[in-house]
Amino acid sequence: MAKRTSTSTSGTRRPMRPCAPAHAPTVAPKPEQRKPAAAPVAAFTAAPATPPAPKSADFYKRMVDSVRAGAPSLPPIPSLPVADLAPSSGPRNVVMYVAHPDDETGYAGGTLKKLADAGHAVTAVSLTHGEGGRIVEERGGEVVELRAPADFPVAKLVRARDAEMSDAAGRMGIEHAHLFDAKLGLDYGYTRSTAEVLTRWDTLAPGGLDGMLSRMVADLRARKPDLVLALMESNPEEHGAHKASAILVDLAARLAADPSYGSGAPHVVRELVIIGSAASHDLRVDVDKDAWRHTMGAYRTQFLEPMISETDHFIRGDDTSHEQYTVRWSAHGAVNPAGESLFASLTGL
Ligand SMILES: [Zn+2]
């Protein structure tokens, strides 16, 4: 097997893992700014009339804490009848929001295909185009990792990754979409810091984080998913963009149900499920590991096909026969993962 080595841009050897610490953040977080006196989470209950003022790092920390604590200051999710969970109620609409193309496959590819095979409508929506990622090539028996813009134009990477996500979606039998233009550069590199990513996104996205949330709410109201999947948001070792995207999805799904937020008819997401870690999860889905490996092969500039192994599975590492999740919240009130969970009912748990 060819050896795995790293990019010519740094000369150092690195493990070939997606979304892993490929390089240090290239731009430092914004300097600390004076924080507003009022708790600014309330600002997310209505579309701002003027561009949002820059926010402090403490703002993002409190925003994250608010979500993890159940976001008492955010609008409650309207309650729905538990009877509506019955699988016999027909095909469901499932949307997974991810930070980068390949996250949907690496974390949940087996589950998404299983849901599609069962007749449910499944879509993977990526916030970015993976424009901060890499292209791997085999040169002289070694695998080299190349990066834009040092090794090729960013547009080449975006074209490759867009095509790969389309290919992966086809292999799973699902739809796919992107929420934001690659030119925004929302995928800018690796950091573990959620606050750093949110700070960067607030400066890069039109309208800042309020604009991102507004766009995500509009997407939720247009797609009308029953079930939303998101990346994990609490694992300290996780990519900061994964954690930040999950937090925004959580906020957006709550706001989509709020008739006072933005324009368009409100939509109630029935359940938000996040990726569970090996150490913490409450639902486990048995999946077809060969089908998962086949889907991963679509990301041919991310993983050279002969090298795709179970160690590339983002969660299990040593076992791709199942994927695991945690129910973040449900519009059915208290969720019993053993039964009263829409996700559990759809995946045959
Ligand atoms: Zn990722």
Give the pLDDT band (50/70/90) at residue 149.
Answer: confident
CA of 78 to the centre of ligand 1 (A): 31
**Cβ density class 301-319: b for 16+ within 10 Å, e for less:** bbbbeeebeeebbbbeeee
- Domain ranges, residue 119: 79-133+153-347
3-class SS of residue 28 = coil
CA of 152 to the centre of ligand 1 (A): 21
CA of 254 to the centre of ligand 1 (A): 23
CA of 187 to the centre of ligand 1 (A): 9
CA of 144 to the centre of ligand 1 (A): 20
CA of 88 to the centre of ligand 1 (A): 34
Q: Under a CB-based contact definition with an 8 Å cutoff, are residues 179 and 216 in contact?
A: yes
CA of 100 to the centre of ligand 1 (A): 5
Mean pLDDT of 175-180: 98
Residue 16 is assigned to a structural domain of this protein: no
In CATH, what number is assigned to the domain containing residue 297? 3.40.50.10320
CA of 134 to the centre of ligand 1 (A): 12
Residue 2 is assigned to a structural domain of this protein: no
Looking at residue 46, what is its pLDDT? 42
Position with higher pLDDT, 79 vs 308: 79
Q: Which helix (H) or strand (E) holds 126?
A: strand 121-126
CA of 242 to the centre of ligand 1 (A): 6
Q: What is the DSSP-derived secondary structure letter of residue 54?
A: P
Residue 41 is assigned to a structural domain of this protein: no
Looking at residue 312, what is its pLDDT? 56
Residue 210 is assigned to a structural domain of this protein: yes
CA of 35 to the centre of ligand 1 (A): 30
Residue 227 is assigned to a structural domain of this protein: yes
CA of 23 to the centre of ligand 1 (A): 14
Q: Which helix (H) or strand (E) holds 328?
A: strand 322-330
Residue 267 is assigned to a structural domain of this protein: yes
Residue 278 is assigned to a structural domain of this protein: yes
**Number of domains making up the chain:** 1
Residue 192, pLDDT above cutoff 70:
yes
Q: What is the mean pLDDT of the chain?
A: 79
Position with higher pLDDT, 66 vs 47: 66
Give the pLDDT band (50/70/90) at residue 197.
Answer: very high
Residue 270 is assigned to a structural domain of this protein: yes
CA of 81 to the centre of ligand 1 (A): 35
Within 8 A by CB and 6+ apart from 179, the residues are: 97, 125, 126, 127, 215, 216, 219
- In terms of Cα–Cα distance, which of 58, 64, 28, 29 is closest to 199? 29
3-class SS of residue 65 = helix
